[in-house]
Amino acid sequence: MRERSSQSLIECGLKCLRECPCSFYGYNPSLKKCRVHRRTFTSGMSEETGWRYYSPHHLPVDCKDLRNDGHTNTGVFEIYPFGNGSCPVRVYCDMDTMNGGWTAIQKRVDGSLTFEQNWTDYKNGFGAPERNVWIGNDVIHQLTKGNNSSLYVSITLVNGTTLYELYNRFSVSDEAGKYRLFLAGPATGTLEDRMLNSLSSSADLSGMSFSTQDRDNDGWSTGSCASKWRGGWWMNACYDAFLNGPWAVEDWDEPWNPIMYGTSITGTMMLIKRL
């Protein structure tokens, strides 16, 4: 608990919103003092003379909440997928595609950040939403659990063409479930489906667990897809779609079949939105 003097009630509430985490806040109008609490409210606090206690107002869970609140410009925002009192997550919000409200879980614009990261990095997230980012598997699970969410995948080619594929249902399990991918159609777009029903059943990704070089959960019995192809992803044995390979080199083989090599790509993005 932290206490501040010479505060107004509004300033106290704003202070709570800026703290990480803040479960509730107290304000004493006579003393003009503010208390920001990080722990659960206890009944004894209500007996303190002159103090009143408040919960922080509803915070945006995702970019759809921000869009509904009137934010119409695409850019970087803070969301609170773990609820009031939790730490904010900085995300890229697409407010233009298909009525907006899309939260970017993956974004790449150049090779300045490697996606050859370990399990913990993919769990917690890495990068910066302004340019290259993986939002984090824990956040993806939190955003999609108990919700019907859509997945929008886009790939921009060196000739300036942007192709996309829209999946009607997308969710990811928690870490105990190895961040298993649940994907369902219909799938529509110009990329053509390569995740749900690929060119080979051994490359279908729905139902597959997440794999990294240090955590092999794929369907390849004699090797590690993540180690071979140098990036974290939902791997079968191995894939026809893989957006986290080494940037702009031929080692990034078939990022989205029949796009043959990563040298053909200048940008990727994976967006999700609650239905």
Q: What is the pLDDT of residues 137-160, one digit of tens each?
A: 999 999 999 889 999 999 999 999
Q: Which amino acid is at 87?
A: C
The verdict on 13 and 81 lying in the same domain is: no
Q: Which among 18, 21, 51 is positioned nearest to 34, based on CA atoms?
A: 51
- Of 16-25, 35-44, 175-184, the poorest mean pLDDT is in 35-44
Q: Is residue 135 domain-shared with residue 158, that is, in the same domain?
A: yes
Taking the C-alpha atoms of residue 218 and residue 240, their distance in angstroms, rounded to an integer, is: 14
98 contacts 272 by C-beta, under 8 angstroms: no
First and final C-alpha spacing in the chain: 38
pLDDT tier at 210, thresholds 50, 70, 90:
very high
99 pLDDT exceeds 60?
yes
Q: Measured between alpha carbons, how far is 226 from 116 in angstroms, rounded to an integer?
A: 9
Contact 79, 103 (CB under 8 A): yes
CATH of the domain at 124: 3.90.215.10
User: Are 30 and 96 contained in the same domain?
Assistant: no
Per the structure, the complete domain to which residue 18 belongs is given by 2-54
Show which of 10, 26, 54 is a domain's final residue. 54
Residues 33 and 73 in one domain: no
Task: Give me the pLDDT at residue 2, please.
Answer: 46
pLDDT of residue 89: 95
User: Do 251 and 146 belong together in one domain?
Assistant: yes
Taking the C-alpha atoms of residue 207 and residue 170, their distance in angstroms, rounded to an integer, is: 11
Q: Residues 137, 230: one domain?
A: yes
Number of domains the chain contains: 2
pLDDT at 127 exceeding the cut of 90 = yes
Look at residue 27 and tell me whether its pLDDT is greater than 50.
Answer: yes
Q: How high is the pLDDT of residue 35?
A: 84
Count H helices and E strands in the chain, helices first.
5, 17
Q: Answer yes or no: is pLDDT of 54 > 80.
A: no
User: What pairs with residue 154 in β-bridges?
Assistant: 164, 269
pLDDT confidence of residue 133: 98
Residue 45 shares a structural domain with residue 158: no
Q: How many angstroms from the chain centroid is the CA of residue 229?
A: 23
pLDDT in tens, 59-76: 789 999 999 988 999 999
> What is the mean pLDDT of the segment spanning 11-27?
77
Residue-level pLDDT at 193? 96
**Mean pLDDT score across all residues of the chain:** 90
Mean pLDDT, to the nearest integer, of 171-198?
A: 96
Phi, then psi, of 270 in degrees rounded to 5: -120, 120
208 and 263 belong to one structural domain: yes
Q: Which residues of 180-200 are buried (b: 16+ CB within 10 A; e: fewer)?
A: bbebeeebeeebbbbbbbbee
pTM above 0.85, yes or no: no
